[in-house]
Amino acid sequence: MENFNFYAPTEFVFGKDRENEVGSYIKKYGGSKVLIHYGGGSAVKSGLIEKVKKSLDSAGIAFCELGGVKPNPRDTLVYKGIELCRSEGVDFILAVGGGSVIDSTKAIAAGVPYDGDFWDFYGKKAQVEAALPLAVIVTIAAAGSEGSRSSVITKEDGMLKRGIGYEILRPKFSIMDPALTQTLPAYQTACGCTDIMAHVFERYFTNTTEVEITDRLCEAVLLTIVKEAPRVMADPDNYDARANIMWAGMVAHNNICGVGRQQDWNSHALEHELSGLYDVAHGAGLAVIMPAWMEYVYKHNVMRFCQMAVRVFGCQMNFENPGATALEGIRRFRSFLHSIGMPINFAELGAREEDIPVLVEKLGIGEGKLGGFMELDRNDVTGIYRLAAHSEV
């Protein structure tokens, strides 16, 4: 196990109808003029934004609002948000939505007190040193952004997708009401479950040895999704299954599953180019990429893939041929994703094999390598995209 710091000071306010308490929590954390930031209208249509305004009114908190966050949130709206916060004297930002809204909120929060262009942070030209305080009402179990330090934004010019992570960007509080996720389309629910599993796998596949406690915590999240996701697909109103998935989604990404170990994140890197180019859902892109990545790299540490196969997917260990067990685990993972309605190859995702050179180019690794569980050069990345293009269950 490696040395690490773990600091996750977000207050989680979890359960039915907790969104009605948002006003008092913003007060507790010192907000007096709030920007309510949200997405494409479902938060309005469902009456959630109305509830939020009512709670803010009751608490005597002023607010303005900015909707219109799209999946793969854009820099263009972030600029608008920064300007609005400045002109309105906003001192607290409330994200009402999923990972895209939260990530857009974090970008605005970092951008407001910064003199330069906020994209400097994402382009690694500057460090975030100050940010407005922010909080979240989550409407989809997926990104884990409600408990994380990270934010991913897409630059509209060239559809360039880049991420950052800073402690100062962790939400002050996050309200998580599983009932809010009951009205989600099945496809989005499944994308969320895929994203949660991917957040764990990016940490699970490591070259750091002797990390039993974090391995077991990773498996706890994975086993929960394997059990609960099919229940939610069959019965979208199942509050308890939704609740287990929602809390698992937070645990998957606040890094309690990832401390003390080297992490991978290459599947996310490869996926970001896919969802950047085709504007597909991040979870759907991961469903196509992640099993392909596994098939490509499993020989790097066969026993770790056997551990996944046996502990998470209930495979019998083949002691004479561990590679067969590893591959069976990967097969069951892909088959699980397929069973909850996820695409598993380029055609089902809406991606095109002939674009692979473009995807590789946009990754920008040149003659270098992506670090991680197994280092990947251009040829490796091309190989993974090719496997992903043609996957079958």
The CA distance from 378 to 357, in Å, is 10
Only one of the segments 63-71, 74-82, 213-221, 269-277 lies at the binding site for a second copy (rule: CB under 8 A); that segment is 213-221
Nearest residue to 265 via CA among 198, 343, 359, 361: 198
Q: Burial level of 185, CB count in 10 A (0-12/13-18/19+)? A: exposed
Asked whether position 29 contacts a second copy by CB under 8 A, the answer is: no
Q: Between β-strands 160-165 and 150-155, what pairing exists: parallel, antiparallel or unpaired? A: antiparallel
Stretch that binds a second copy, among 8-16, 276-284, 315-323, 350-358 (CB under 8 A): 8-16
8 A C-beta contact, residue 137 and residue 47: no
The residue from 28, 45, 216, 390 that contacts a second copy (CB under 8 A) is 216
When the beta carbons of 129 and 157 are compared against a second copy, the nearer one is 129
Decide: is 217 part of the binding site for a second copy (CB under 8 A): yes
The minimum distance between CB 303 and a second copy, in angstroms, equals 15
Decide if 31 contacts 87 (C-beta within 8 A). Answer: no
Q: In angstroms, give the least distance from the CB of 279 to a second copy.
A: 32
Residue 252's identity, in one-letter code, is: A
* Region of residue 151 (left: phi > 0; alpha: psi -120 to 50; beta: else): beta
Distance CA 63, CA 45 (A): 19
Piece in contact with a second copy (CB under 8 A), picked from 13-21, 46-54, 288-296, 299-307: 13-21
Q: Which of 212, 320, 354, 367 binds a second copy (CB under 8 A)?
A: 212
Selected from 87, 115, 158, 209, the binder of a second copy by CB under 8 A is 209
Residues 131-190 binding a second copy (CB under 8 A) are 178
CB atoms within 10 A of CB 235: 12
Q: Which residues pair with 151 in a beta bridge?
A: 164
* Interface region with a second copy, contact rule CB under 8 A, candidates 47-55, 199-207, 212-220, 348-356: 212-220
| Binding positions for a second copy, 221-250, rule CB under 8 A | 221, 223-224, 227-228, 240-241, 243-244, 247-248
Least distance (Å) between residue 258 CB and a second copy = 12
Rounded to whole angstroms, the Cα distance separating 256 from 215 reads 11
Q: Is 319 in the site for a second copy (CB under 8 A)?
A: no
Tell me the HSE value of 273 on the side-chain side, using a 13 A CA sphere.
20
Residues 6+ apart with CB under 8 A from 80: 66
**Per CB under 8 A, 206 contacts a second copy:** no
- Pull the structure tokens for residue 360: 């590789």
What are the two backbone dihedrals, phi and then psi, of residue 370, each rounded to the nearest 5 degrees? -80, 130
In the complex, the smallest distance separating the C-beta of residue 335 from a second copy, rounded to whole angstroms, is 21
Q: Which residue number, 173 or 298, has a Cβ lying nearer to a second copy? A: 173
Binding footprint of a second copy on the chain (CB under 8 A): 1-16, 18, 178, 209-214, 216-217, 219-221, 223-224, 227-228, 240-241, 243-244, 247-248, 251, 256, 259-260
